[in-house]
Structure 1
Amino acid sequence: MNVTKLVISSLVLFLIMIFFVGGVYASPIITVGTDRNSYYLGEEVVFSGANTISGNVSLFIKGANVPQTYLTNATVNADDTWTTTFDSTVYRSLDPGTYTFYAASDVDIFGDVTTFKSDCAYASVAVSMKRPSLSATADSDTVTQGDILTITGVAELPKENNGILYYIFGENYFSTNMASVTGTSYVLNIDTTNLANGQYFVVVQHPMYDRLFNIGPVAAENGGYDIKMNAQGDYASDSSMILFNTNDRQSANAAEALCQALDTQNIDESYVCVSFIVDSTQGNLLSIIKGTHSSSYTNGDILTLSGLNTNSDYVHIYMDSPKGNREQLSISPIAVSDKTWIWTCSSFTYAKMPELGT
């Protein structure tokens, strides 16, 4: 009886040893997986798995607008594992969506074309490819000269990217720089100390799928910056073409020219544009003298405003309505004397006043 038990135990131990010596897997298999369920277009997708059937794994892709297409192959390691990457920048025509990737143990080859072998063992995995998003919001649309304007936003970047590019266009003014992205957020703090009164445009640019800035600024020998473009590579390369020089275009015209170039079909960059106004005449309002009316006016009332201005020698008066309209009330600049100013409208009879409201 003891001999029988010993024989059975030895047989079980022998079978267990065969299982582990022969490999981790009891039967021929092939598997495939990724480290994430979704990636941004422009990222590298990492695939890995096991293959006990053959010494190579061939990777294919298939999607709604993509026929089953061979991508690459990977050599199976001694421990039956394999890994490979898919660089989505190579396939710039991919649209956002879900794609199925196949890991095949064998392929058919017709001439130079590698095709999927329908009767071979394979495994598949679904991967979502997302479009990176970009946004920008300024904390104010009008800022007093010398204050800091803060722009915050979201920039979803593939991990291989180093940041975003931004430009500031104004009358006789241009600056540009890179901004780092923490997680998916970024912050731009714009110092307006050296900015003259007027409107400015900020264009924030995302490199998108190819992880390259195809459009960007290069310091020109004769002054200013050349905005250059290379649809097939980096904007600073020798094969780039000059779109315009920042000394030749100003403010809105330059910002519009840049945005039109970024909208070109063969440029994959995305961008957002925000504007703001620098107004050195904005001061601290001292008082509003409203005569016999405490909170409202009717046509014909006298309106008097006064305040402080330590930034310039004049003030302009504007009025904002609930509808978002802005009307200039003072026809000519109001002189500042001893850092104070006063303005009186003796005939408050503006035709648009009933429309403008409070």
Structure 2
Amino acid sequence: MMHYPPAGNVCRAICLVLLAIAFGIPCATAITLTPGSTAITTISQGDPVYIQGIATGHPQVGLQIWFIGYNFVKVSTVQVNNDNTYEYELQKSDTANLAAGEYVVLIQHPMENGRFDVVYDASSGMVTNVQTSKPIFQIAGSGSLQSTGAVTALMNAIGSQNIDDTFAIVTFYVSQPATTINPIGDLQQGENITINGTTNLAAGDNLMVSVTSASFTPTPKTESSGVSGAGGMVTVMPGSGGQNTWSFTADTSTFAPGDYLVTVSGVLQPVTASARFTVRCSGAGDTCSVPGLASPDVTAAVTGVTLNSTTGVQVTPTGPATTVLPATTQSAPVPAAVCLAGVAALLLLRRRT
């Protein structure tokens, strides 16, 4: 009598497999920014961003974070660690749907009185002076200031002589995910090829690079099929001027001469680019080495074919020998439904025994 594992064990095994797959999926790499830095940083939509720094005095109420852009404002707080450091994360969901443009993160410190004297009223969309209980300006909703105007007004409000709060800011730009492929040119068969380009994806993000033959056509058996290429995943490296870099290397010694298509696509972000290049013959004159063939001089010729239902197919080559292939009868294929029914019946019988 056969014993089968309990259903609970099977479910647990499936869950473990799914968790292993989930942990194997690469995550987008976050960009870390420090308030007060003057460096120009560009991120792509969907890139997480960490804001890190030091807040002296260890304020008990934490720090107030103002995230401001065109038609966008988000205000929240973050606690300060025991060593006076802090970290605030703009998650992928925060940046995925942002419009392209400039964004400012302002970090507000409550200073000596231990409270924020300039606050955001989410119900009205107003920035308010806590000391006077009077509104200062509209930052969200109808009639609100936009982008740089809102940031300037907020900086003036917190920097007022009657307010003891202080602040630091960091600026970055958001753009749609994009990547480019640098020109490749023609290559001689056997050369190492380095394909590279730029992208605004964060350093540490992954791209898939695929090199495939662009000239695949049905060919005789004595010729190479022309199916050759390479592929793999590359990691985005830090660049400059808001553009990071990537690079992929392949050996063309196994490439059949012809045209090739390079495709680069994001693993997590919707970004793609393509380019073409040509592999030329490496042999003398018009002679090309064809990968996959044991000998480039293989030839064949058929002078006559006779069909006979009894004796089979008789082929007469150019040589004196005659080859007769015996007649064969192909069995009718068993329907898939019959196979599945048989397997199901077998399993049922085993369960009952």
| TM interval, short-chain normalised | 0.3 to 0.5
**Greater RCO between the two (CA within 8 Å, min separation 6)?**
2
Structure with a larger share of its residues in helix: 2
TM-score (norm 2): 0.45
TM-score (norm 1): 0.44
